[in-house]
Structure 1
Amino acid sequence: MAELGNTSRQWVKKWWDRFVEAGKSYDALEDQSSRPDTIHRKRDEYEDEILAAKERFPHFGAIKLKHVAEIPLSHTTIHKVLVDHELVDQRETTWRSDERFERPYANYLWQMDITQVPLPDGEIGFIC
Protein backbone atom coordinates (compact mmCIF):
# COMPACT_ATOMS: atom_id res chain seq x y z
CA MET A 1 0.00 0.00 0.00
CA ALA A 2 2.90 2.36 0.78
CA GLU A 3 4.33 1.77 -2.70
CA LEU A 4 0.96 2.58 -4.32
CA GLY A 5 0.79 5.88 -2.46
CA ASN A 6 4.49 6.55 -2.98
CA THR A 7 4.99 6.98 0.78
CA SER A 8 6.81 5.15 3.56
CA ARG A 9 5.41 2.25 5.57
CA GLN A 10 5.72 4.33 8.74
CA TRP A 11 3.48 7.02 7.24
CA VAL A 12 0.83 4.46 6.25
CA LYS A 13 0.97 2.90 9.74
CA LYS A 14 0.59 6.31 11.36
CA TRP A 15 -2.54 7.04 9.31
CA TRP A 16 -3.92 3.52 9.90
CA ASP A 17 -3.42 3.81 13.68
CA ARG A 18 -5.10 7.21 13.65
CA PHE A 19 -8.02 5.75 11.65
CA VAL A 20 -8.46 2.78 14.01
CA GLU A 21 -8.10 4.96 17.13
CA ALA A 22 -10.98 7.15 16.00
CA GLY A 23 -13.27 4.14 15.62
CA LYS A 24 -12.64 3.78 11.89
CA SER A 25 -13.88 7.28 11.25
CA TYR A 26 -12.58 9.17 8.24
CA ASP A 27 -12.61 12.38 10.31
CA ALA A 28 -9.38 11.17 11.92
CA LEU A 29 -7.63 11.39 8.55
CA GLU A 30 -7.99 15.17 8.31
CA ASP A 31 -4.87 17.28 8.78
CA GLN A 32 -3.90 17.81 12.39
CA SER A 33 -1.90 20.68 13.79
CA SER A 34 1.56 19.87 15.11
CA ARG A 35 1.29 22.73 17.60
CA PRO A 36 1.43 21.53 21.22
CA ASP A 37 -1.81 21.62 23.19
CA THR A 38 -0.11 23.15 26.22
CA ILE A 39 2.82 25.46 26.72
CA HIS A 40 5.22 24.16 29.32
CA ARG A 41 6.04 27.36 31.17
CA LYS A 42 8.95 27.10 33.53
CA ARG A 43 8.89 30.78 34.36
CA ASP A 44 6.85 30.33 37.53
CA GLU A 45 9.19 27.61 38.81
CA TYR A 46 12.24 29.88 38.62
CA GLU A 47 10.68 33.22 39.53
CA ASP A 48 11.82 33.10 43.18
CA GLU A 49 15.32 32.08 42.09
CA ILE A 50 15.48 35.01 39.63
CA LEU A 51 14.36 37.48 42.30
CA ALA A 52 16.88 36.11 44.81
CA ALA A 53 19.68 36.40 42.25
CA LYS A 54 18.66 39.98 41.46
CA GLU A 55 18.72 40.78 45.18
CA ARG A 56 22.25 39.34 45.48
CA PHE A 57 23.47 41.11 42.32
CA PRO A 58 21.37 44.28 42.02
CA HIS A 59 23.47 45.80 39.21
CA PHE A 60 23.32 42.74 36.95
CA GLY A 61 20.99 42.52 34.00
CA ALA A 62 19.17 39.45 32.70
CA ILE A 63 22.11 38.08 30.69
CA LYS A 64 24.57 38.20 33.60
CA LEU A 65 21.98 36.84 36.05
CA LYS A 66 21.35 33.89 33.75
CA HIS A 67 25.03 32.91 33.80
CA VAL A 68 25.85 33.74 37.43
CA ALA A 69 22.77 32.06 38.93
CA GLU A 70 22.76 29.29 36.27
CA ILE A 71 19.07 29.74 35.55
CA PRO A 72 17.97 27.47 32.66
CA LEU A 73 15.68 30.06 31.06
CA SER A 74 16.31 32.47 28.22
CA HIS A 75 17.59 35.90 29.18
CA THR A 76 14.45 37.35 27.57
CA THR A 77 12.23 35.43 30.00
CA ILE A 78 14.40 36.50 32.93
CA HIS A 79 14.14 40.11 31.76
CA LYS A 80 10.34 39.84 31.58
CA VAL A 81 10.22 38.60 35.19
CA LEU A 82 12.39 41.53 36.29
CA VAL A 83 10.18 44.00 34.40
CA ASP A 84 7.03 42.49 35.95
CA HIS A 85 8.50 43.08 39.41
CA GLU A 86 9.72 46.57 38.44
CA LEU A 87 13.36 45.66 39.07
CA VAL A 88 14.61 47.02 35.75
CA ASP A 89 15.59 50.64 35.39
CA GLN A 90 13.94 51.51 32.11
CA ARG A 91 15.70 54.71 31.16
CA GLU A 92 14.56 56.68 28.20
CA THR A 93 16.52 55.83 25.11
CA THR A 94 18.57 58.72 23.82
CA TRP A 95 18.26 58.99 20.08
CA ARG A 96 20.58 60.80 17.78
CA SER A 97 19.34 64.12 16.57
CA ASP A 98 17.14 64.07 13.50
CA GLU A 99 18.71 67.34 12.43
CA ARG A 100 20.21 67.15 8.96
CA PHE A 101 23.84 68.05 8.37
CA GLU A 102 23.10 71.25 6.47
CA ARG A 103 24.89 74.57 6.20
CA PRO A 104 23.54 77.99 5.19
CA TYR A 105 25.27 78.04 1.79
CA ALA A 106 27.50 75.93 -0.42
CA ASN A 107 31.14 75.41 0.63
CA TYR A 108 30.43 76.84 4.10
CA LEU A 109 32.12 73.83 5.67
CA TRP A 110 34.61 71.50 4.06
CA GLN A 111 35.48 68.05 5.26
CA MET A 112 38.47 66.01 4.14
CA ASP A 113 39.60 62.49 4.85
CA ILE A 114 43.35 62.31 5.34
CA THR A 115 45.39 59.12 5.51
CA GLN A 116 49.06 58.62 6.30
CA VAL A 117 51.02 56.26 4.06
CA PRO A 118 54.67 55.24 4.15
CA LEU A 119 56.64 56.39 1.11
CA PRO A 120 59.41 54.31 -0.55
CA ASP A 121 62.11 56.64 0.82
CA GLY A 122 60.94 55.99 4.41
CA GLU A 123 59.09 59.24 4.96
CA ILE A 124 55.38 59.53 5.67
CA GLY A 125 53.09 61.01 3.06
CA PHE A 126 49.53 62.21 3.37
CA ILE A 127 46.69 61.36 1.00
CA CYS A 128 43.56 63.49 0.93
Structure 2
Amino acid sequence: MKLKTFIEERNKNAFWNNVVQEAIKATEGIDEEIGRYIFSRLSIVGLERQLFDENYDNIHRNFVLTLAVELCKFDKEKDFSISLGIAVVDKWLEKNKLPTDCDGYNVEELKRIIRLFGLDNKLLYEIIIYLSQLVNQAYR
Protein backbone atom coordinates (compact mmCIF):
# COMPACT_ATOMS: atom_id res chain seq x y z
CA MET A 1 0.00 0.00 0.00
CA LYS A 2 2.86 2.39 0.77
CA LEU A 3 4.36 1.82 -2.68
CA LYS A 4 1.02 2.57 -4.34
CA THR A 5 0.68 5.80 -2.33
CA PHE A 6 4.26 6.76 -3.18
CA ILE A 7 3.65 6.20 -6.90
CA GLU A 8 0.42 8.23 -6.81
CA GLU A 9 2.18 11.13 -5.06
CA ARG A 10 5.10 10.99 -7.49
CA ASN A 11 2.71 11.09 -10.45
CA LYS A 12 0.83 14.04 -8.93
CA ASN A 13 4.12 15.90 -8.46
CA ALA A 14 5.23 15.19 -12.03
CA PHE A 15 1.85 16.29 -13.36
CA TRP A 16 1.93 19.49 -11.29
CA ASN A 17 5.52 20.25 -12.33
CA ASN A 18 4.58 19.89 -16.01
CA VAL A 19 1.65 22.29 -15.58
CA VAL A 20 3.85 24.83 -13.78
CA GLN A 21 6.65 24.59 -16.36
CA GLU A 22 4.20 25.11 -19.23
CA ALA A 23 2.68 28.16 -17.51
CA ILE A 24 6.10 29.66 -16.73
CA LYS A 25 7.23 29.23 -20.34
CA ALA A 26 3.98 30.76 -21.59
CA THR A 27 4.35 33.80 -19.30
CA GLU A 28 6.71 36.09 -21.13
CA GLY A 29 9.31 37.78 -18.96
CA ILE A 30 9.23 35.54 -15.88
CA ASP A 31 12.60 34.07 -14.98
CA GLU A 32 12.50 30.26 -14.77
CA GLU A 33 14.62 30.23 -11.61
CA ILE A 34 12.21 32.61 -9.87
CA GLY A 35 9.35 30.42 -11.09
CA ARG A 36 10.91 27.27 -9.65
CA TYR A 37 11.54 29.03 -6.33
CA ILE A 38 8.01 30.47 -6.10
CA PHE A 39 6.29 27.19 -6.87
CA SER A 40 8.29 25.35 -4.21
CA ARG A 41 7.06 27.67 -1.44
CA LEU A 42 4.83 26.12 1.22
CA SER A 43 1.99 28.58 0.60
CA ILE A 44 1.82 27.55 -3.07
CA VAL A 45 2.18 23.85 -2.22
CA GLY A 46 -0.85 24.19 0.08
CA LEU A 47 -2.94 25.53 -2.79
CA GLU A 48 -1.59 22.79 -5.05
CA ARG A 49 -3.00 20.26 -2.57
CA GLN A 50 -6.31 22.12 -2.66
CA LEU A 51 -6.43 21.58 -6.43
CA PHE A 52 -5.72 17.86 -6.07
CA ASP A 53 -8.34 17.58 -3.32
CA GLU A 54 -10.93 19.10 -5.66
CA ASN A 55 -11.69 22.04 -3.38
CA TYR A 56 -11.93 24.79 -5.98
CA ASP A 57 -13.77 27.49 -4.00
CA ASN A 58 -12.04 30.78 -4.85
CA ILE A 59 -8.98 28.88 -6.10
CA HIS A 60 -8.15 31.46 -8.79
CA ARG A 61 -8.35 34.36 -6.35
CA ASN A 62 -6.47 32.57 -3.57
CA PHE A 63 -3.80 31.30 -5.95
CA VAL A 64 -3.21 34.71 -7.56
CA LEU A 65 -3.00 36.52 -4.22
CA THR A 66 -0.71 33.90 -2.70
CA LEU A 67 1.48 34.04 -5.78
CA ALA A 68 1.56 37.85 -5.50
CA VAL A 69 2.76 37.59 -1.91
CA GLU A 70 5.59 35.27 -2.96
CA LEU A 71 6.48 37.46 -5.95
CA CYS A 72 6.80 40.52 -3.67
CA LYS A 73 10.24 39.24 -2.70
CA PHE A 74 11.33 39.91 -6.28
CA ASP A 75 9.20 43.04 -6.84
CA LYS A 76 7.36 41.14 -9.59
CA GLU A 77 3.87 40.88 -8.06
CA LYS A 78 2.33 43.56 -10.28
CA ASP A 79 3.85 42.12 -13.45
CA PHE A 80 3.18 38.42 -13.15
CA SER A 81 0.89 37.33 -10.33
CA ILE A 82 -2.42 37.58 -12.22
CA SER A 83 -1.28 36.24 -15.59
CA LEU A 84 0.87 33.45 -14.17
CA GLY A 85 -1.53 32.50 -11.37
CA ILE A 86 -4.56 32.26 -13.62
CA ALA A 87 -2.51 30.44 -16.28
CA VAL A 88 -1.41 27.76 -13.80
CA VAL A 89 -4.88 27.16 -12.36
CA ASP A 90 -6.59 27.20 -15.76
CA LYS A 91 -3.97 24.90 -17.29
CA TRP A 92 -4.35 22.48 -14.40
CA LEU A 93 -8.15 22.49 -14.71
CA GLU A 94 -7.91 22.15 -18.49
CA LYS A 95 -5.55 19.16 -18.30
CA ASN A 96 -7.96 17.50 -15.90
CA LYS A 97 -10.86 18.27 -18.24
CA LEU A 98 -12.56 20.41 -15.59
CA PRO A 99 -14.42 23.65 -16.28
CA THR A 100 -12.56 26.86 -15.53
CA ASP A 101 -14.63 29.12 -13.32
CA CYS A 102 -14.18 32.59 -14.83
CA ASP A 103 -16.78 33.93 -12.41
CA GLY A 104 -14.62 32.89 -9.45
CA TYR A 105 -12.38 35.93 -9.67
CA ASN A 106 -12.51 39.58 -10.60
CA VAL A 107 -9.35 40.80 -12.33
CA GLU A 108 -9.93 44.43 -11.38
CA GLU A 109 -10.33 43.49 -7.72
CA LEU A 110 -7.14 41.43 -7.87
CA LYS A 111 -5.27 44.35 -9.46
CA ARG A 112 -6.47 46.70 -6.70
CA ILE A 113 -5.36 44.33 -3.96
CA ILE A 114 -1.98 43.68 -5.56
CA ARG A 115 -1.39 47.42 -6.06
CA LEU A 116 -1.81 47.82 -2.31
CA PHE A 117 0.97 45.32 -1.60
CA GLY A 118 3.61 47.91 -2.44
CA LEU A 119 1.87 50.59 -0.38
CA ASP A 120 1.24 48.87 2.91
CA ASN A 121 3.25 45.93 4.22
CA LYS A 122 0.88 45.57 7.18
CA LEU A 123 -1.93 44.82 4.73
CA LEU A 124 0.31 42.32 2.98
CA TYR A 125 0.89 40.41 6.21
CA GLU A 126 -2.83 40.47 7.01
CA ILE A 127 -3.51 38.95 3.60
CA ILE A 128 -0.85 36.28 4.19
CA ILE A 129 -2.46 35.36 7.51
CA TYR A 130 -5.94 35.33 5.96
CA LEU A 131 -4.85 33.08 3.08
CA SER A 132 -3.02 30.67 5.38
CA GLN A 133 -6.16 30.42 7.52
CA LEU A 134 -8.19 29.61 4.40
CA VAL A 135 -5.77 26.86 3.44
CA ASN A 136 -5.80 25.45 6.97
CA GLN A 137 -9.61 25.44 7.02
CA ALA A 138 -9.66 23.55 3.73
CA TYR A 139 -7.73 20.67 5.36
CA ARG A 140 -9.76 20.31 8.53
Aligning the two structures, in what range does the TM-score lie when normalised by the shorter sequence?
under 0.3
TM-score under structure 2 length normalisation: 0.23
- Whose helix proportion is higher, 1 or 2? 2
Determine which structure has more spread, i.e. the larger CA radius of gyration: 1
TM-score under structure 1 length normalisation: 0.25
The structure whose RCO (Cα within 8 Å, separation 6+) is larger is 2
